[in-house]
Amino acid sequence: MHTLKHTIELFELSAINWMHRNGLIFLRISLGIIFFWFGILKYFPRVSPAEDIAINTINRLTFNLISPKIILLTLATWEVLIGVGFISGKYLKLTLLLLFSQMLGTTAPIFLFPNEVFSIIPYAPTLEGQYIIKNIVLISAGFVIGGNSLKKRKMVKST
């Protein structure tokens, strides 16, 4: 006869196994949705909350050589490609390269515009600062997805 404790342990083990089997794909797809969604917003002027800081950052890094329209179009397309790559699971190496290079750009405002990123430097982020700091989680998710997915592909090829 199953006791309540045994039933709970079986349920817990079942939940752990389900998370182990499905967690990586959920992480990959959810990361893809975030990038796809945020990228799509940038196709529509004044819709993305990150628009101004993205334009200002890229303008500073490129010495104002690129028009704001081109900046947003490029960034939107870049993010949509990252999103599609994660959602589909195809071209994962390229998707990760796009992700990590884009993340380098997203950290630049911390150094270029610290007064916009922090209300009290360096520990009280503004809304823009919080938007940037949350990218630590996106970068970590990229590491987990890349490490697991690419390792599995290498193991399959080597056998």
Asked, for residue 30, whether it belongs to a domain, the answer is yes
The pTM score is 0.90
pLDDT value at residue 102: 96
Domain total for the chain?
1
| Domain with 56 in it | 26-158
pLDDT value at residue 91: 96
Residue range 4-41, pLDDT digits in tens: 999 999 999 999 999 999 999 999 999 999 999 999 99
Bridge partners for 120 per DSSP:
124
Give the Cβ contact number of residue 57 at 10 Å: 24
pLDDT value at residue 153: 67
Asked, for residue 21, whether it belongs to a domain, the answer is no
Asked, for residue 144, whether it belongs to a domain, the answer is yes
In contact, 115 and 58? CB cutoff 8 Å: no
Residue range 81-106, pLDDT digits in tens: 999 999 999 999 999 999 999 999 99
pLDDT value at residue 151: 77
Asked, for residue 5, whether it belongs to a domain, the answer is no
Asked, for residue 74, whether it belongs to a domain, the answer is yes
Q: Which amino acid is at 25?
A: I
Asked, for residue 9, whether it belongs to a domain, the answer is no
Asked, for residue 104, whether it belongs to a domain, the answer is yes
Residues 85-108 as b/e (b if ≥16 CB within 10 A, e otherwise) read bbbeeeebeebbebbeebbeebbb
C-alpha 38: how far from chain center: 10
Compute, in degrees rounded to 10, the torsion defined by CA atoms 91, 141, 101, 127. Answer: 140
Asked, for residue 116, whether it belongs to a domain, the answer is yes
Burial of 29 (0-12, 13-18, 19+ CB in 10 A): middle
Residue range 39-86, pLDDT digits in tens: 999 999 999 999 999 999 999 999 999 999 999 999 999 999 999 999
**pLDDT band for position 159 (cuts 50, 70, 90):** low
